[in-house]
Each structure stands twice: as structure tokens, then as C-alpha cells.
Amino acid sequence: MPDSDNHYLPPTVTDPASALSEEAIAWFARLRSERCSPDDRRAFESWRNQTPAHAAAYEEVSALWNDPALRLAATKAARASIGLERHAPVRRWSQSWLRYAAVAATIAGLVALVDLEIDIPLRLTSDYRTSTGEQQVVRLSDRSSVTLNTRSAIGSTFDDQTRRVNLLKGEAFFQVAPDKEKPFVVYNRQITTRAVGTEFLVREESDGIRVTVTEGVVELAPIQPVWPPIQLTAGQQVSVAPDGPGSVREVDLDQVTAWLRGRLVVEDARLGDVIEELRRYHSGTIQVWNSAVNEIRVSGSYNITDPAAALLALAETLPVRMAQFTGRIVILF
């Protein structure tokens, strides 16, 4: 008996197992990755322009991802996840829906693979690094410690005159052992953060870095003297962009350091900003299909060790629906 809920793939969609389709899916994933660079985009344009078949393969993948039938399937999954169709038999989820979910999961998995491929040069230059969702505490030879947050990496140089750490990527919390003869210096984006014995966080942002002091005093300065040094004390934070530092501000340290306890704490924040933060800890992809979702205001404490569960908690308390596929892809609408 035909299933009235079936939604069939458009007849022009090719088998995802074909070589060209796999390349198209890989490019689709790369372009959606947060680490996609201008060079990647130029390489994609070169690939797409090779033949009409290349362009058509990419358009098919894009059309499949944005197809209304997939969104309807996502709605069914979201209803099931919040109990609206909790008792619906599994057989009502058609083979076509499973094909949509399989391709979606393939794209989500390739996002992680693309990120891993891009990380290869970083693996060759870093001493310590973390993958998505991982945190690591590093004990340095001077008895200082560094806690690396998700997707982070550092290199270090310690000798008789120097205690130097390069933050190559991501975010780290530094607990510095006192040594007045050898200041502890963190380098990132041509900026130094200098301390003797103190605790502070350095986070790489899309357009610069953000430094927060939790104990003691640190000094920020550019390697080239284009702006004067800045001193920060406990409870102060500053963001530095390519054109210079912003204003020093007081912050809630419990909120800023919540990630050290496995939490994301927000107060009257845009849901879009919360989702962007949770993406850092999610080993797949999080898609928002309704832009109005981003503007919802939220407050709360959320578990960053399980981003999908955090999003589900949000979906259960807000006017938002959520679908999950294979645990790697989350859709909010």
C-alpha cells in the first residue's frame, strides 16, 4: 500500500556514491565549514568550471540540501523528538526520507573530515592540540598549566631566558607559575600577552583576539608599536582587532570561565550567538532554517559536552523545532 507521507527525490539527482557526486558533496561541506578560506573558494570555482557536469553535480547537491521534502522530513523528525509523533510507527518514515537523511549525514560527516584535512599543517607545528569537543590540561616545564578549549592548539618555547607560548588556534586558559626573571608571554596575531604570575584567558576570534584576566595583572602589546600597551587586572577583558584594541570592560568571570566547568552560561543573549558558540563543540553541523530563530533571546546554563542535548533543551522551552540525523547533523526551524 503506498505511503501517503512518501517524498521522492527529484529524478535528476544522481547517485551520491558516484565520484563526481562525492566531489560535489565534499565541496559543499568545505564551503559550509567555518574554516573555509578565500583560497578554498577560488579552488572550488576552478573545480566547478571544469565542465558543465561539475557544475550540475554541485547544483544537485545544493538542491537536495534545500529541497522542501527534506525539510518536511526534518519536521517529522522534530515532532518525533519532542513527542508530537512519539507513537508513530517507524515504517511511516519512507525510503526516500532515509535517502535524504543519509545524504545529509554524509555532508555533516564531510564537514568534520574537511576540518581534519585543513588541520594537518597545524598538527605539524603545534605541541598540543584538541579536537572538536575536547579539552586538555597541559603541564608546562615551569609548573605553569594551560587548559586548551575545543579546537585549540599551542606551541611552546622554554629556555633559560624565555617562557613563550604561541596560541596557534582557538582558546586557552593560562595559570602562570611566578618567575620575575622570566615573564610568561603568549603570542597570537602579532600581539603579546605578558604575565609574571597570574591567570588569564586568550581566545582567538574571527577578527582578532580577546583577553580576560581572572587573577593578577597582564599586559597586552603589539609586536610592532602601533598602539600603546594595555594593562588588565582581574575581572577585566579587552578585544583587539587588526585596527587596535577596543575599550576595557568589566565581565562576569563565572560566565566567562564557564567552559572550564563544561558549561555555556548566557544572560539575555541572541539564540543565534548561543548556536554559534555550541557549533564550536559539535562534531557535525548545526543548521538554522528559520532566520527568526536567531533573534530569540535566551538566558541559562547549557552543557557544552553534549551540544545536541543543549539544543534539544532549548527547543523544548522555546518556540523552536529541532531535527537530528545520526547525531551529527542538527536542524533548527
Q: Give the CATH number of the domain where residue 204 resides.
A: 2.60.120.1440
* One-letter-per-residue 3-state SS of 147-192: EECCCCEEEEEECCCCEEEEEEECEEEEECCCCCCCCEEEEECCEE
Q: Write down the pLDDT at residue 111.
A: 55
More confident residue, 298 or 27: 298
Q: Do 167 and 208 belong together in one domain?
A: yes
In a domain, 72, yes or no: yes
- Residue 40 confidence class, pLDDT cut points 50, 70, 90: confident
- Judge if 244 and 149 occupy the same domain: yes
Residue-number span of the structural domain to which 283 is assigned:
262-332
Domain count of the chain? 3
For the domain that residue 290 is a member of, what is the CATH number?
A: 3.55.50.30
Domain match, 245 and 143 both: yes
Residues 88 and 195 in one domain: no
Domain end call among 79, 94, 122: 122
Q: Does pTM surpass 0.75?
A: no
Question: What span, in angstroms and rounded, lies between the C-alpha atoms of 161 and 181?
Answer: 8
The answer as to whether 32 is a domain residue is yes
- pLDDT higher than 70, residue 250: yes
Q: Which of residues 18 and 156 earns the better pLDDT score?
A: 156
Question: Rounded to 5 degrees, what are φ and ψ at 283?
Answer: -85, 25
- Round the average pLDDT of the chain to a whole number and report it: 80
Neighbours of 45 (CB within 10 A): 9
Mean pLDDT of 144-163: 94
Q: Within this chain, do residues 88 and 184 fall inside the same structural domain, yes or no? A: no
Q: In this structure, are 110 and 150 located in the same domain?
A: no
